Amino acid sequence: MNEQQLKYWLAWNKMSDIGPKRFYQLIKHFGTAENAWKAKSEEISKVLNLSPKISSRIFEKKSNINLNRELDLLDRYKTKVLTIEDDLYPENLKEIHDPPPLLYFKGNIIKDDKNSISIVGSRKATYYGKMVAENLSKDLASVGLTIISGMARGIDTAAHRGALSVKGRTIAVLGCGIDHIYPPENRRLAREIEESGAVITEFSFSTLPERQNFPRRNRIISGLSRGTVVVEAAEKSGALITADFALEQGREVFAVPGNITSALSKGTHNLIKQGAKLVNNFQDILEELSIILNQKPEGEKININQYSLSEEEKTVYKIINNEPVQIDEIIEASKLSASKVSEILLNLELKDLIKEIEGKKFIKL
């Protein structure tokens, strides 16, 4: 699409009262975004059946929009745009009920992104939840799937990092303008995602990450994907909204079981009760979606016999498992001195057998 036409798409997209449904009504009636922009206020109001209050608000904002400024912002922020009329517009997203008319993005969108899985969950995720999200993402990205998530704290961040760790593709969908990276601590993550996938949004520049934007963001996450995996979610969670959108869009919903005493398992367990596919591993997802790929995920279970471990090292290694173990517990269980345990833990870390996490806790790799 040439810049002359694009600037009108960008201008309409800046109008908060003109969502996808109203925009498509305008295109259907007037033929082009430019014709609609230049039409008389009375005719636009009639086509959209606007109330006097909404009509007044739209035309006041319309009169204050600088058409060329939106194009200038694309250059300033090094941002690309896809309209629904472009060939590269994501095929999965085009099939949903209310696809965004245009997408702002950094990075690259490719045809192979059709084979995508979204992984979502709680912002206040447990260590277990983040570990599962990251490992699922690693395995799925390793066999060539694109991982979709919302770059929020917790599960989303873990999902993106999992894909990046195996040099896989991942796409982050924002609930704000592309000039506002949220949460701010994920700015570096956003840059990494741009290099191996894309950061995208339907929201115009200067749109803040406000609460009402996230359900709209969630429908894009599910819409881009062939299936949505919910890793951890409380009974009332944004991740469950994404799952609802996935069902409405005719996509598969998967859920990871968790600790029955955890509030963050209630949402996922309810999904399983309602028919969501229970996920034990990444093969469950591939089988349900009938995805057959030749590659195998990287990494195999560690066989400690290939390492030259002392008896004391073996003792400490056996105490550590897939759940975080605090150093004091290791000292007590091993019957070794604190200094000896610290020395052994360092040796095991250097051999990539274990990993230290927050609070002087250790887990097996």
52-62: pLDDT as tens digits: 999 999 999 99
Domain extent listing, the chain: 3-76, 108-288, 304-364
Handedness of CA 275, 136, 355, 314 (dihedral sign): positive
CATH of 3-76 given 2.102.10, 1.10.3470, 1.20.1250, 1.10.150: 1.10.150
282-333: pLDDT as tens digits: 989 988 887 655 444 444 445 555 667 888 988 999 899 877 889 999 999 9
Q: What is the distance, to the nearest Å, from the Cα of residue 57 to the centroid of all Cα atoms in its chain?
A: 33
CATH topology of domain 108-288: Rossmann fold (3.40.50)
Measured between alpha carbons, how far is 250 from 245 in angstroms, rounded to an integer? 9
Sequence-distant (6+) residues with CB within 8 A of 83 are 1, 6, 9, 89, 101, 102
Cβ neighbours of 81 (radius 10 Å): 18
69-113: pLDDT as tens digits: 999 999 999 999 999 999 999 999 999 998 999 999 999 999 999
Q: Residue 339, CB half-sphere, CA atoms under 13 Å: how many?
A: 0
Residue pair 117/229 in contact by the 8 Å Cβ criterion: yes
CATH topology of domain 304-364: Arc Repressor Mutant, subunit A (1.10.10)
Residue pair 88/82 in contact by the 8 Å Cβ criterion: yes
